[in-house]
Amino acid sequence: MPRPLLQLALDTFDLPSALAPMQQARDHVDVVEAGTILCYAEGMHAVCALRALYPDKLLLADVRIAEAGSIIAKLAFDAGADWVSMVSGATPATMEVVLSEARSRGRDVQLELIDGWTWAQAAAWRALGIEQVIAHRSRDGEALGDLSWKPADFEQMRRLADLGFKVTVAGGVEVDDLPLFADVPIHVFTVGRAIRAAADPASAARGFQEAIARVYGATAARA
């Protein structure tokens, strides 16, 4: 199974607060995420700055497109994003224009699965050409304060991978959780606070990479 990528989610209220931990952790991060909050706070200037600083890293603008899709996608791609996020509640028409904008530039779209999606929709998204999805742990459990990963979470990710999706895992993965994903084909692990708020972000990020290598083997990382 190819080794998953490590994404650092920069969900801060301003750019400087994002730059400090990112710069420290940069040697151990594969994908830089300009988080939704950061995008709203600083606009596409945040994406431009991250592109300028890390020209060789994958860069996600987590703009969570719901409508007015092609213009927001254009803004994010112009600013240098490789990937933009779109919510699963977007209409097929919006998905199509965003995907087409991405394809015309050799970029990509990540579809964030929001509660209420169905497997019939998932099949339709694949047919439309969506290749990447963002999966969370069950929100029902989260709402009850239960932050553990459940067999149903892994089952869902496996089934998404079986449909041909590259799966990003978002939402509070801890380094000790990684062995639980051993049999699950994951494209990207997203980590935020556990690296960003660590006393030593570089060492925290390196810890995640080492855990990923232990679980998935030190094979080549996914493209």
For the CA atoms of 60, 66, 69, 75, the dihedral, rounded to the nearest 10 degrees, stands at -40
Q: Where on the chain is the footprint of a copy of itself (CB under 8 A)?
A: 13, 36-37, 39-46, 63-64, 66-68, 71-72, 75-76, 87, 89, 91, 114-115
Q: Which amino acid would we find at residue 192?
A: G
Closer to a copy of itself by CB, 103 or 139: give it: 139
Closer to a copy of itself by CB, 49 or 215: give it: 49
Q: What minimum distance in Å lies between the beta carbon of 199 and a copy of itself? A: 25
Q: What minimum distance in Å lies between the beta carbon of 188 and a copy of itself? A: 20
**DSSP per-residue string spanning 21-55:** HHHHHGGG-SEEEE-HHHHHHHTHHHHHHHHHH-T
Closer to a copy of itself by CB, 105 or 139: give it: 139
d(CA 202, CA 98): 34
d(CA 50, CA 208): 21
Length of the chain: 223
83 contacts 110 by C-beta, under 8 angstroms: yes
Closer to a copy of itself by CB, 46 or 184: give it: 46
Closer to a copy of itself by CB, 38 or 204: give it: 38
Per-residue CA distances from 35 to 99, 120, 124, 160, 191 (Å)? 20, 29, 27, 24, 11
Q: What minimum distance in Å lies between the beta carbon of 93 and a copy of itself? A: 9
Q: What minimum distance in Å lies between the beta carbon of 94 and a copy of itself? A: 11
Q: What minimum distance in Å lies between the beta carbon of 45 and a copy of itself? A: 7
Closer to a copy of itself by CB, 7 or 12: give it: 12
Q: What minimum distance in Å lies between the beta carbon of 164 and a copy of itself? A: 26
Q: What minimum distance in Å lies between the beta carbon of 98 and a copy of itself? A: 14
How many other β-carbons are positioned within 10 Å of the β-carbon of residue 151? Answer: 8
Closer to a copy of itself by CB, 182 or 197: give it: 197
Q: Strands (DSSP E) along the chain, which ranges?
A: 5-10, 31-34, 58-65, 83-87, 108-112, 132-135, 166-169, 188-191
